[in-house]
Amino acid sequence: MSRVFILALLTIAVMFTAIVLIVWGIVLSFGGPANTLLYLLIFGDAGLLITVIEIAQRKKKRAG
């Protein structure tokens, strides 16, 4: 397989993981008002952090 294809699959997997974490945090937040903020912070921030790291890696590859 070509390197570009492998990188594309890796990018899709990382973005899918980020989306799943964010959605899972939203789903768990329906458990009650005490858990809402906790789950959104844990899973939402984890998903957003993965997305930010992926974007930074892409910019780093283009610049270098």
- Residue partners of 40: CB distance under 8 A and separation at least 6: 25, 26, 29
The pLDDT value given to residue 35: 67
Q: Dihedral (C-alpha) 11, 54, 51, 9: value to the nearest 10 degrees?
A: 0
What is the pTM assigned to this prediction? 0.57
pLDDT band at 64 (very low <50, low <70, confident <90, very high): low
Percent of the chain at pLDDT > 90 equals 0
The pLDDT value given to residue 7: 75
Per-residue pLDDT reduced to its tens digit, 33-61 = 666 667 777 777 777 787 788 888 877 77
